Amino acid sequence: MTREEQDEESILFKVEETPLCARCGEGTLVLAQYRHSWMNGRGEDVAGLKEAVLCPSCDHKEPAAAELLALFVADGQVMPENVATFGGLLAAWVESVRHRTVDEALLANEYEQWQRGDL
Ligand SMILES: [Zn+2]
């Protein structure tokens, strides 16, 4: 968890030539790369890069993604005037994507505990 906190700032993003959405096949607006580490089966830390795309069709129900999408709708593109707002919303969105993954791990963990009868 500490490592994730340290790497929170290192988000790379692209707003041009972003890939098609893997979920619906439509064009995406942002591709973000962020550092991610996890524990492998032997209990070792494995560090890697994860990618997330912002898709107007699939992500508009996520509050953090919706705010970022709204910025694109309002301004059309990232301009020097709104880059600070964009950076903040981007960080919030990546954080929500990150937590989605963490929540899944937490869920799997709770499921295991439940199976063992610990919950
Ligand atoms: Zn999509």
- Residue 100 CA, ligand 1 centroid: distance in Å: 17
pLDDT of the residue at 103:
62
Is there a contact between 18 and 32 (Cβ–Cβ < 8 Å)?
A: no
- Residue 52 CA, ligand 1 centroid: distance in Å: 11
pLDDT mean across residues, the chain: 81
Q: Which residues of 11-25 are buried (b: 16+ CB within 10 A; e: fewer)?
A: bebebeebeebeeee
- Residue 12 CA, ligand 1 centroid: distance in Å: 20
pLDDT in tens, 40-87: 888 888 888 889 999 999 999 999 999 999 887 766 666 667 778 888
- Residue 29 CA, ligand 1 centroid: distance in Å: 10
Delimit the domains of the chain by residue range.
2-116
- Residue 71 CA, ligand 1 centroid: distance in Å: 18
Give the whole-angstrom CA distance, residue 5 versus residue 85: 21
Q: Which two tokens stand for residue 48?
A: 């890697």
pLDDT(25) > 90: yes
pLDDT in tens, 77-106: 666 677 788 889 999 999 998 877 656 667
pLDDT of the residue at 40:
85
